[in-house]
Amino acid sequence: MAVEAIAEHTEQGHADGVFHQFESIEQQNESYIVGMWSFLVTEVMFFGPLFFAYLLYRWQFQPQFYLVHKELNVALGGLNTVILLFSSFAVAMAVHFAQKKARQKQLLWLGLTLACAFGFLIVKYFEWAHKFHVGHVPGPGFRWEAAGEAGVVPAGIAELFFSLYFGMTGLHGLHVVIGIICIGTLMLLTARKSKLVESYIPTEMVGLYWHFVDLVWIFLFPLFYLMPQ
């Protein structure tokens, strides 16, 4: 007999907070963590081709890309890096306090994370607005008559650079927006003491996601802004 019966299982006979398909809270928590990591793998693969495209063209048009990248604002990019690094710390604190069940402190650190996320977008707005202003936006209106060294670069290659810049920072920005929605929802539910966020797992999930968003920027910043000759 391959199978023998143990443990009578009644469909609803579960401890609070454990969904019917799971045997125990440990199993449930571990499942969520494995699920989240699998999802993050898909996110890595999602950004992968853009990085691949960037590296390919950068290798192909190395000197031109170097000249074009000088049009980016390193100070603003650096500021955003600092903001995101701090937010990563903040969300880690939020997870820590969620585990300790210190709701007030958890909310505080989540709030700081959220503020950083908005801060990042605001800085990004100023950066992008400037690009629109000077016509460094791919498309029919693209202008490339910048003086000096940058003028040496053919407009097509400059446009390629800005395509990658807008494509990659745009996609990253979209992830920041999604992060804002997740953090906001989490804060709302936590403040209302919803049953859904009783355990620390949802906070941990949001934290993992936010670390990922941060990590992508950690790669984007040097590639676009600091790129050496």
Token reading at 25: 């809270």
Q: How far is CA 80 from the centre of its chain?
A: 13
The per-residue b/e assignment along 67-88, b for 16 or more CB within 10 angstroms, e otherwise, is bbbebbeeeebeebbebbebbb
Give yes or no for residue 209 binding another protein (CB under 8 A): no
Q: Does 215 bind another protein (CB under 8 A)?
A: no
Among 13, 140, 148, 228, binds another protein (CB under 8 A): 140
Work out the angle at residue 228's Cα, subtended by the Cα atoms of residues 223 and 229, and round it to the nearest 5 degrees. 125
List, as one string, the DSSP characters of 97-159.
HHHTT-HHHHHHHHHHHHHHHHHHHHHHHHHHHHHHHHT-SSSTT------GGGGGS-HHHHH
The per-residue DSSP string of 46-63 comes to HHHHHHHHHHHHHHHTHH
CB closer to another protein, 114 vs 137: 137
> Interface residues for another protein in 157-186 (CB under 8 A)?
157, 159-160, 163-164, 166-167, 171
Site string for another protein, 97-136 (x = CB under 8 A): ----------------------------------------
Shortest Cβ 4–another protein spacing (Å): 6
Nearest distance from C-beta of residue 65 to another protein, angstroms: 12
In whole angstroms, the minimum distance from the beta carbon of 67 to another protein comes to 15
Q: Which of 53, 150, 182, 223 binds another protein (CB under 8 A)?
A: 53
Residue 40: HSE in the Cβ half-sphere, 13 Å Cα cutoff: 18
Least Å from the CB of residue 128 to another protein? 13
- Give the interface with another protein as residue ranges (CB under 8 A): 1-9, 11, 19-23, 27, 30-31, 34-35, 38-39, 41-50, 52-53, 56-57, 138-140, 156-157, 159-160, 163-164, 166-167, 171
